[in-house]
């Protein structure tokens, strides 16, 4: 009796698994770099959203003053939406897309804003990557410019001027 059905041998199966493993090993670093790049782009976008929301708060609700925290920036007027998206407008620090965002002020004001929250004369916001989720650190302040740095700007980001070197404005080399 002759056998006509032929299956895979163990050698053939191991060969296919080895090829798949090799392709995965080649593709994994590219995938990691792409994920880090996407996280950094999201962080820059979120920092720009914070700066824009602060400018809107300053001109419409703060009476020439800023919100001293992300939570206050997230408060709406009369039950309406806040000045920033709900994923950032909660008590800080906020973790989003592999970055930790924080907003603070060294110049609180006794005046309340139109949404009932406190105000501040100036502010500074920072975004630091979580381990393995990004390589650059970001910050912004009342100057409405987003800065990047190879090391944290937390504690270094001034309220009104550019941060110390090696920080540079995003998009400027």
Q: Along the 173 residues of the chain, how does pLDDT read in single tens digits? A: 566 667 888 998 999 999 999 998 888 888 889 999 999 999 999 999 999 999 999 999 999 999 999 999 999 888 889 999 999 998 878 999 999 999 999 999 999 999 999 999 999 999 999 998 999 999 999 888 999 999 999 989 998 889 998 999 997 64
What 3-state class would DSSP assign to 72?
helix
Give 102's contacts (C-beta < 8 A, 6+ positions apart): 70, 92, 93, 94, 125, 126, 154
Residue 123, both tokens: 């502010």
Q: What is the C-alpha separation between 32 and 15, in angstroms, rounded? A: 26
pLDDT reported for residue 91: 83
Domain ranges of the chain: 11-169
Residue 22's pLDDT is what?
92
The single-letter DSSP state of residue 164 is P
* pLDDT of amino acid 173: 47
CB-count exposure of residue 87 (10 Å: 0-12, 13-18, 19+):
middle
For residue 154, give the DSSP letter: T
């Amino acid at each position: 009796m002759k056998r006509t059905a032929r299956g895979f041998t163990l050698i053939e199966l191991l060969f296919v698994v080895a090829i798949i493993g090799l392709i995965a090993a080649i593709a994994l670093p590219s995938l990691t770099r792409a994920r880090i790049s996407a996280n950094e782009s999201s962080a820059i976008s979120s920092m720009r959203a914070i700066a824009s929301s602060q400018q809107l708060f300053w001109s419409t609700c703060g009476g020439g003053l800023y919100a001293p925290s992300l939570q206050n920036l997230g408060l709406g007027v009369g039950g309406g939406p806040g000045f920033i998206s709900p994923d950032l407008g909660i008590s800080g620090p906020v973790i989003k897309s592999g970055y930790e965002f924080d907003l603070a002020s060294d110049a609180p004001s006794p005046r309340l804003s139109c949404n009932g929250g406190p105000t501040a004369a100036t502010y500074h916001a920072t975004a630091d990557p979580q381990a393995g989720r990004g390589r650059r650190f970001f910050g912004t302040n009342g100057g409405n410019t987003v800065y990047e740095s190879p090391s944290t700007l937390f504690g270094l980001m001034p309220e009104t001027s550019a941060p110390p070197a090696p920080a540079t404005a995003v998009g400027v080399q």
